[in-house]
Amino acid sequence: MDISAVPIFFDKLKDSLNQQTFVKLTLSRLRHPSDVKNIYARLVSIKKQPKIQFTFRYATRDEVKNFDFTEGVVFIQDQMGTVFLTADLFTTDFDFSLQFNKKADNAQFLTKKTNSKRPNTEGGISPHDQTKKRLLTPTQPYFHALEITDAKGNITSNGQKKFKQIDKYIETIAALLREADLPNDAVIADFGSGKGYLTFALYDYLKNNLKTTPSVSGFELRENLVNFCNDLAQKCYFDDLQFFAKDINEVVLDRLDMLIALHACDTATDVAIAKGIEAKAKVIIVAPCCHKQVRKELNVKNEMQPILKHGILEERQAELLTDGIRALLLESKGYRTKVFEFVSTEHTPKNVMIVGIRTDKPKPTALEQVEAIKKHYGISYHHLEKLL
């Protein structure tokens, strides 16, 4: 066993923090399988106090935590050899690496001088709010037409929340796209596209950031919104973005790679999921809105009754059951699912996202589980079941 390299690395880390030569640090190579893929650290200033900001990268989301320098170094020490096997520290003049073997009983320290002095701006202390990297460019004309930015492309105070929600949504989709491996010319449908905020942003991201050639269609009942969106798509030269005034129940799609339905009302989410499954979409993404159908069905005659007599708890239980059964039904049709909050409740309370990624391996027990849950809560049917 030789881990004498460990204190050498941590001395370099502490020196870089004290001498302000720290640029960034990454922790990678998991020792055991874990949900977190890697951790990225940089310096930020919060209320004029320097902090190490750690970004925990998961498959579909990032989580950020800020630590004081001392706490941050202790955190990295705790992670190394237990959770992660490699730490790479980048400073203005040197790259340092601490690398454990698989058993974590041996570690080596590597050092490399950088070719030219690196500015410490990447991880350098800068105002916290200014360091957030955006995926979308607010100067795109559609943001102005959608009243999120002013004529110069600055996000207005009223537009801040919506912009954050859209940017976060794109960040989530970007992670899912990496996982699902969609074709370059992906065919995408947005069910209940409304005013098109997310449809425009998704097209923009795929076309301009990823440089792919998607075809994106929005389906929306309200004709005035469809006309507005088609005009705007033309003005933006978004040639393969189109909107149709159509009830999603009537939509028939020959080819579909990804289906999205964000905040489609009540059972419209079920219709969207069913259409996605029918068209064998590789990815189905829904963020449900209200959950009336299952709530009306609840007929609890067991130990849960005294809890569910409270309206708000019954409402939450209905949400949980509606979305939980949706995920199980997707699994019964060969989709791997994830259910998570995609944006903080501060931006929208409707923040649960259900994602299905097609694997063609149906979960054999899923329908039995749905039956058992329905029986326990006296639910005679879930709308999605009827559609499948």
**Window contacting ligand SAM (CB under 6 A); options: 129-137, 171-179, 190-198, 334-342:** 190-198
Helical residues (DSSP H) of the chain, grouped into ranges: 5-18, 69-79, 128-131, 141-145, 160-180, 197-204, 223-235, 268-278, 292-297, 305-308, 311-332, 366-377, 383-387
Nearer to ligand SAM, 177 or 202 (CB): 202
**219 touches ligand SAM (CB under 6 A):** yes
Look at residues 219, 158, 166, 212 and name the one whose alpha carbon lies nearest to residue 190. 219
Nearer to ligand SAM, 72 or 218 (CB): 218
Helix (H, G, I), strand (E, B) or coil at 196: coil
48: tokens are: 């004029």
Nearer to ligand SAM, 88 or 266 (CB): 266
Distance in Å, CB of 315 to ligand SAM, minimum: 18
| Structural contact between residues 197 and 146, judged by C-beta atoms closer than 8 angstroms | yes
Among 264, 277, 286, 353, interactor with ligand SAM by CB under 6 A: 264
296: tokens are: 């009306």
| Structural contact between residues 110 and 99, judged by C-beta atoms closer than 8 angstroms | yes
374: tokens are: 């329905």
**263 touches ligand SAM (CB under 6 A):** yes
Distance in Å, CB of 121 to ligand SAM, minimum: 36
**376 touches ligand SAM (CB under 6 A):** no
Among 145, 198, 279, 285, interactor with ligand SAM by CB under 6 A: 198
**Window contacting ligand SAM (CB under 6 A); options: 12-20, 142-150, 220-228, 359-367:** 220-228
Q: Binding mask 243-262 vs ligand SAM (x if CB under 6 A, - otherwise)? A: ----xxx------------x
Look at residues 75, 115, 99 and name the one whose alpha carbon lies nearest to residue 8. 99
Distance in Å, CB of 254 to ligand SAM, minimum: 19
Nearer to ligand SAM, 222 or 310 (CB): 222
Among 194, 214, 276, 324, interactor with ligand SAM by CB under 6 A: 194
Among 134, 178, 222, 310, interactor with ligand SAM by CB under 6 A: 222
Residues numbered 65 to 124 that lie near ligand SAM (CB under 6 A) are: none
Among 53, 172, 193, 317, interactor with ligand SAM by CB under 6 A: 193
Distance in Å, CB of 263 to ligand SAM, minimum: 4
Nearer to ligand SAM, 74 or 339 (CB): 339
**15 touches ligand SAM (CB under 6 A):** no
Look at residues 297, 267, 132, 263 and name the one whose alpha carbon lies nearest to residue 275. 267
**167 touches ligand SAM (CB under 6 A):** no
Distance in Å, CB of 166 to ligand SAM, minimum: 9
CB half-sphere exposure, 163, CA atoms < 13 A: 24
**221 touches ligand SAM (CB under 6 A):** yes
The residues near 117 (Cβ < 8 Å, ≥ 6 apart) are: 92, 93
Look at residues 13, 65, 53, 61 and name the one whose alpha carbon lies nearest to residue 37. 61
CB half-sphere exposure, 94, CA atoms < 13 A: 12
β-pair partners for 90: 24, 95
Residues in the chain: 388
**Window contacting ligand SAM (CB under 6 A); options: 7-15, 81-89, 213-221, 355-363:** 213-221
Burial degree of 107 (CB within 10 A; 0-12, 13-18, 19+)? buried
Nearer to ligand SAM, 25 or 229 (CB): 229
**169 touches ligand SAM (CB under 6 A):** no
# chain residues binding ligand SAM, by CB under 6 A: 18
Interatomic CA distance for residues 81 and 315, integer angstroms: 45
Strands of 22-30's sheet in order across: 62-67, 49-57, 38-46, 22-30, 84-91, 94-100, 107-113
Residues numbered 265 to 304 that lie near ligand SAM (CB under 6 A) are: 265, 268, 289
Footprint of ligand SAM on this chain (CB under 6 A)? 192-194, 197-198, 219-222, 247-249, 262-265, 268, 289
